[in-house]
Structure 1
């Protein structure tokens, strides 16, 4: 796997996808409808992943569109706060708006409400991705929501073409969010096409099951992608850990048990921790463990981006928490 791993080892990523604003009631445990105080944070899977990579000392440039208003400027200010490059972040006017997620810091009866009408990030164009110097990066990362609508869908596939032409490996987080898509049938076809083009694919059992057309066939779908096109496929199963297919090997990994404060943010933190660990020279199994530890840290704190760990926090967690569960 010299192309994929050597690309990640450069620790310099171009990340394509949305940046948004998160609201969460304060203090933890508060229901949204009973809240009198809210905290805010950077949101959006791609932005969170990029921020997590930067928290570990890597480099990440985000490619997206944000609304030309105070919320869009909040998002760009947050990108600056985390050190995420935004040379390729474009502001769009009119009625387009940044996505907003309102979620609670509680697990029991957890509520998340997403606002995505007229989403600014879907205005990313072919011209936006053609302006990127892909040779300046080691790898491209994107999440599935970028494919949910036009012109973002065509732009993302064009970015895949240009990245491959420049020799960049493509890392794809399936990240299926039904509310962003016109129909499940459209999503199944488009996400499957994206998966066929990726060098690394990360998803949970439900997402692979969705791509396969049957939740019970998800793991077989993950294995078939590894056999056909992808060099690494990580099939996540929540508290049951993950199964990874890599270069003919099957790697099973457990998780770090924690008392979760909320169910959100784990996937983005996992991806950031995984990339950072591989870039630091850890073997794949150890890197997956470290990504799982990052996920455990984030679900134990309020917010998503604000909860992302740095290296010192990750090492402290690994030294003080039992796990991972049996591989």
Structure 2
């Protein structure tokens, strides 16, 4: 490799924030690192997103214990990526919930994703030796399901493909707050390496139709108020479209992946270069956009070896 992945050199500790986004609803955020959400019901707690390791999950639990002593009974995982799910064992939840498609993706590519992400972003795997293995759900669903934490209803839904084929969102109707996973980001680059560019905008429209009062996004600050929600949805849309269109134009004329990389950089650098994890995401985003533009509907599986080959190709 001519140089390391951008994220391999990112060893700076991030400042954690714990923001109330509705009554007894919290967003755990960390300056562009993966977020988690907390839903406190009458007698128990649901956590959204596990973090990458049990040690990192303990930081979420520490914040939860500052606001409630109720047991954590449910863990909802919006998709299968290692940085979201491998800390699950720390919570001791009775139910671990995923969409059925996400579970199938753990079967198909979970170990490869773990190996790949660990190589790309070592800081996010603090305490990786404590991970007991792949995270498997105890409960899955196809279109939607509801969980009752006492009288508080929590709706889990698959609204469409976006960041992955199996993304789900979690909506708490009594406060009209949504936890979107990586479908929506705020001042953070979207990771599109396993994404579906052609569907992402439609899925954003489905989220937008809920007209929510707050969102806990996948990365970036909590979005409180409809103006901030709208801004984040539209900036996410702009990021996805600005990545795909230049790559698709290059693919349509038979250009190379390196040419697609150059075209995406030209379009995106002026607008998004200051976003969190922008440089980390870019090679994987360009590769996936180039593939999708050539008609490859199912994202190819990333492996540690494929990561290195891609990086050498783009940097060479």
TM-score of Structure 1 vs Structure 2, range by shorter chain? 0.3 to 0.5
Give the TM-score normalised by the residue count of structure 1: 0.34
Give the TM-score normalised by the residue count of structure 2: 0.35
